[in-house]
Amino acid sequence: MSEAPEPIPAASLPISASAPGKCILFGEHAVVRGAPALVLAIDLATQVLVRPGATTSLNGDPDAGVGQPYFRSALELFRAGRPALEVRSVSRIPRGAGLGSSAAFVAALAAALTSAGGGGDRDSLAERSFDIERNAQGVGSPTDTSAAVAGGIVALNAAKGERLWTIARGSDRWEVRRLADPGWTWVVAFSGIRRSTPDAVRAVGERLGRPDGPALLERFRRVSEEGIDALVREDPEGVARAMGANHALLKEVGVSHPRLEELLRAGAPAALGGKLTGAGAGGSVVLLPRAGREIELIRRLARAGGLPFAVRVAPKGASIVGAALENGS
Ligand code: PMV
């Protein structure tokens, strides 16, 4: 039997919480329309510290409660009519890079506020984190927030894996499952080009709304299923093949970028495969290094102007920092 996901314990302020960034291996954009996706929680994290304050602020900015959409949306959901809070956040995840900086911030903050409100289960944290992100962005799927809340490797709308939770909004429904981590090292590289997720999601939505949209979505679905099957059988060549096929589809719907193509070309000799990751139109690429050639791959990507990171799967989702110490376990 599988264990229930670990709940968020109650604590009193000040509370610090941390959540991982993410890297989508298969299915970005198509997942917004219910196709399968696979996402890794990665070992770059965001940490927040929440404490009582004279006025509500984020990193010293008293206007963030109005001007920073994710912060505003979190306060609306958790703190309407409650006393002011001073929030600080630090992150190793580059912003606007498709590596889940917003979802990690949202999940860490939601975990801290859940804890301050008496604790709660992880399913509700996943729901609330998604609501905060969706209220702030206006569009999107629970892919990023589910990875930030669950940690590990997470599949959406896939037949494989251990069921975690289901998130439904209107006629949209995403079933979230956990897959085992084969323990590989991945390399991601930020192109330096920040872009807007909602704009890219709307452009792809428009493309998939054309007459050949359903056939195109079916191709996305098949590639994600092949990639997920390959990961489950721990077949790196199969995973790399599906990454390449997924990238070709993303290029076809117009979300690649010349800088991303350059990075993928530069990294190719040291990688089994690679693709853009996240909304695209800038942002980052993810590559699966050839065995023993991780450093060479990082050098190649850096020489081509990218900001590379070697990442591994972060097994732990959003959590209260120091909770184990406080509980004496
Ligand atoms: O914001 P990003 O770059 O992490 O992209 C998220 C993935 C999309 O599928 C493009 C949108 C979504 O919400 O699923």
To 10 degrees, the CA torsion angle through 252, 254, 256, 262? 70
Residue-wise pLDDT tens digits, 71-89: 999 999 998 888 999 999 9
- By most ligand atoms within 8 Å of CB, the mutation choice from 39, 99, 105, 143 for ligand 1 is 143
CB 38 within 8 A of CB 231: yes
Residue 197: CB within 6 Å of ligand 1?
yes
CA 224-191-295 angle, to 5 degrees, is: 80
| Closest ligand 1 atom number to CA of residue 103 | 4
**191 C-beta closer than 6 A to ligand 1:** no
**What pLDDT, in 10s, does the model give residues 298-310?**
999 999 999 999 9
The CA distance from 32 to 280, in Å, is: 14
Q: For strand 85-91 and strand 57-58, is the pairing parallel, antiparallel, or unpaired?
A: parallel
pLDDT attached to residue 324: 59
* Residue 251 near residue 245 (C-beta atoms within 8 A): no
**What is the C-alpha separation between 302 and 231, in angstroms, rounded?**
27
Segment 186-208 shows an average pLDDT of 94
Backbone angles phi, psi at 157, to 5 degrees: 55, 35
Does the pLDDT of residue 326 top 90, yes or no? no
Per residue in 80-137, pLDDT tens? 888 999 999 999 999 999 999 999 999 999 999 999 999 999 999 999 999 999 999 9
Question: Residue 81: what pLDDT?
Answer: 83
Q: Say what the pLDDT of residue 5 is.
A: 83
146 in contact with ligand 1, CB cutoff 6 A: no
Q: What is the arithmetic mean of pLDDT over 142-161?
A: 97
| Ligand 1 proximity of 167 Cβ (cutoff 6 Å) | no
Q: What would the mean pLDDT of 61-75 be, rounded to a whole number?
A: 96
Percentage of the chain surpassing pLDDT 70?
A: 97
Q: Is 28 in the pocket of ligand 1 (CB under 6 A)?
A: yes
DSSP state of 276: E
CB neighbours of 312 closer than 8 A, spacing ≥ 6? 42, 43, 183, 184, 185, 186
The Å distance, Cα 83 to ligand 1 centre, comes to 33
On whether the CB atoms of residues 20 and 137 are closer than 8 A, the answer is no
pTM value is: 0.96
Mean per-residue pLDDT of the chain? 95
3-class secondary structure, 236 = helix
List the beta strands (DSSP E) in 14-157.
15-26, 37-52, 57-58, 85-91, 153-156
- Confidence band (pLDDT; 50, 70, 90) for 329? very low
Ligand 1 atom, smallest distance to 283 CA:
3
The answer to whether the CB of 107 falls within 8 A of the CB of 19 is: yes
pLDDT value at 328 more than 60: no
Q: What is the mean pLDDT of residues 300-328?
A: 89
Q: What is the pLDDT of residues 232-282, one digit of tens each?
A: 999 999 999 999 999 999 999 999 999 999 999 999 999 999 999 999 999
140 lines ligand 1 (CB under 6 A): yes
314 residue type, one letter = A
Ligand 1 centroid vs 140 CA: distance in angstroms? 6
Indicate which residue's Cα is closest to atom 10 of ligand 1. Answer: 279
Per-residue pLDDT, 2: 54
Question: CA–CA separation, 45 vs 32, rounded Å?
Answer: 24
Confidence of residue 53 (pLDDT cuts 50, 70, 90): very high
Buried b (16+ CB within 10 A) or exposed e, 2-32: eeebeebbebebebbbbbbbbbbbbbbbbbb
Residue 173 has pLDDT above 50, yes or no: yes
Q: Residue 47: is its pLDDT beyond 80?
A: yes
Average pLDDT rounded to a whole number, residues 175-193 = 98
Instruction: Name the residue at shortest CA distance from atom 11 of ligand 1.
Output: 140
Please give the pLDDT value at position 1: 43
**CA-to-CA distance for 301 and 298, rounded, in angstroms?**
5
Q: Regarding predicted confidence, which is higher, 273 or 329? A: 273
Residue with tokens 């289901």: 166
Mean pLDDT, residues 48-74:
96
